[in-house]
Amino acid sequence: MIAVDWTALALGSAAGMFMSVLFFAGLALGMKRAIRTELAVQTLIFSAALRISLFLASGWLVVMQAGPWAFAGYGIAFFVCRRIATSIARNQIPQEIGE
């Protein structure tokens, strides 16, 4: 039987939730800014590069500090937050565009 390090899993989940909220808030902010500017592609590229690098760097720090179970919690938290963020985004689409 595999011994699960519940403390590391919880630590990774907490860090993953926090960073995922920042990641998707940054995505929303980047999209809003890109829509309002003539340099949309550059804005989106910069936003993506910044968000991805910060997310991966924080994930690396969590893994180095707490081990592989923290990595599992970090990844699971990201996918849970992603599911929530996409559900919220779908509910905010106006009806005439969504159909």
* Residue 71, domain member (yes or no): yes
42 within domain boundaries: yes
Domain for residue 18, yes or no?
no
- The residue range of the domain holding 63 is 38-85
* Number of folded domains that form the chain: 1
Per-residue pLDDT reduced to its tens digit, 27-53 = 999 999 999 989 999 999 999 999 999
Helix (H/G/I), strand (E/B), else coil: 51? helix
Q: Within a domain: residue 96? A: no
Task: Note the Cα 98 to chain centre separation in Å.
Answer: 24
Cα 10 to its chain centre, rounded Å, is 17
Does any domain span residue 64?
A: yes
- Is residue 28 in some structural domain? no
pTM above 0.75, yes or no: yes
Domain presence at residue 70? yes
* CA–CA distance, 30 with 60 (Å, rounded to integer): 24
| 15 falls within a domain | no
Give per-residue pLDDT as tens, 19-28: 999 999 999 9
Taking the C-alpha atoms of residue 52 and residue 41, their distance in angstroms, rounded to an integer, is 16
